């Protein structure tokens, strides 16, 4: 009698487990698909809205118009913070030259982002910007930005990528801090990148021993 009562429960448990596994697998597939679709999706949104467009560079033209028609620089102080994120498991370095600066609306500001490809392969990267709070998005105008175009990095290559922007004097009074973040990704969607460690000495290597010898002498 007990065996008869247990069989339906076991079958129900098995079906529940299968549904859970199927759901998790579907979620995983959707997450990977969303990550791969970020660049083309971003291009589509930008082409429709014209905001921070990497396809039409509309942000660059608008920023130049604001700079040339603004005779005075606001006395307000705005803190601009910079952030960097690498999308995917890739052997890169990516960081801003400064973490934060204080600027005045209406004045041009120039910084750079450092990127290095530690892999053994050339890559074509795309950087996607994001601004918080979102109300400040239309008031941060990029004049020149590495995000306007893809950036090619050869194996082991490093470069400083320029960014010039201006804060619109019409920025709402209640906003005193803006965070500008960039997510960099491999447009080839390759996960086969491996670190290039040929020139990095390891413990016990000849170069390490040589350095220790020079230090002792």
Contact (CB, 8 A) for 193 and 90: yes
What integer pLDDT is reported at residue 26 of this predicted model? 74
What integer pLDDT is reported at residue 9 of this predicted model? 63
Mean pLDDT of the chain: 75
Q: Which two tokens stand for residue 125?
A: 């990267």
Mean pLDDT of 78-90: 93
**CA of residue 157 relative to chain centroid, distance:** 18
Model confidence, pTM: 0.59
Whether the pLDDT of residue 134 is over 70: the answer is yes
Can you give the residue ranges of every domain in the chain?
1-49, 59-186
What integer pLDDT is reported at residue 189 of this predicted model? 59
Residue range 141-192, pLDDT digits in tens: 999 999 999 999 999 999 999 999 999 999 999 999 999 999 999 987 544 4
What integer pLDDT is reported at residue 182 of this predicted model? 96
Lowest mean pLDDT among 8-22, 88-102, 140-154, 158-172: 8-22
Q: How far apart are CA 146 and CA 64, in angstroms?
A: 16
Using only C-alpha atoms, the chain has a radius of gyration, in whole angstroms, of 25
Lowest mean pLDDT among 13-22, 54-63, 144-153: 54-63
Residue range 176-188, pLDDT digits in tens: 999 999 999 998 7
β-pairing, 108-117 vs 158-167, is antiparallel
CB neighbour burial string for 1-16, b if at least 16 within 10 angstroms, e if fewer: eeeeeeeeeeeeeeee
What integer pLDDT is reported at residue 111 of this predicted model? 97
Q: How far apart are CA 110 and CA 146, in angstroms?
A: 12
Domain at 59-186: CATH architecture: Sandwich (2.60)
Q: How far apart are CA 62 and CA 139, in angstroms?
A: 10
Q: How far apart are CA 166 and CA 113, in angstroms?
A: 17
Mean pLDDT of 58-79: 62
Contact (CB, 8 A) for 46 and 54: yes
H, E, C per residue of the chain = CHHHHHHHHHHHHHHHHHHHHHHHHHHHHHHHHHHHHHHHHHHHHHHHHCCCCCCCCHHHHHHHHHHHHCCCCCCCCEEEEEEEEECCCCCEEEEECCCEEEECCCCEEEEEEEEEECECCCEEEEEEEEEECHHHHHHEEEEEEHHHCCEEECCCCEEEEEEEEEECCCCCCCCCEEEEEEEEEECCCCCCCCECCCCCCCCCCHHHHHHHHHHHC
Residue range 120-131, pLDDT digits in tens: 999 999 999 999
What integer pLDDT is reported at residue 88 of this predicted model? 84
What integer pLDDT is reported at residue 20 of this predicted model? 78
């Amino acid at each position: 009698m007990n065996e008869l009562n247990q069989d339906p429960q076991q079958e129900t448990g098995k079906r529940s487990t299968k549904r859970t596994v199927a759901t998790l697998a579907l979620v995983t597939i959707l997450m990977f698909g969303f990550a791969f679709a970020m660049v083309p999706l971003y291009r589509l949104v930008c082409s429709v809205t014209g905001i921070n467009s990497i396809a039409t560079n509309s942000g660059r033209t608008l920023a130049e118009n604001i700079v040339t028609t603004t005779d005075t620089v606001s006395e307000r102080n705005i803190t601009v913070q910079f952030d960097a994120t690498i999308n995917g498991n890739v052997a890169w370095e990516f960081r801003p030259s400064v973490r934060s600066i204080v600027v005045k609306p209406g004045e041009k500001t120039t910084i750079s982002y450092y990127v290095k490809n530690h892999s053994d392969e050339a890559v074509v990267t795309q950087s996607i910007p994001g601004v918080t709070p979102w109300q400040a998005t239309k008031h941060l105008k990029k004049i020149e930005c590495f995000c306007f175009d893809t950036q090619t990095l050869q194996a082991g290559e490093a470069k400083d990528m320029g960014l010039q922007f201006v804060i619109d004097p019409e920025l709402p009074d209640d906003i005193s801090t803006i965070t500008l973040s960039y997510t960099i990704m491999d447009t080839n969607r390759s996960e086969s990148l491996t670190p290039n460690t040929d020139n990095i000495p390891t413990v016990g290597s000849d170069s390490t021993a040589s350095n220790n010898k020079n230090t002792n002498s």
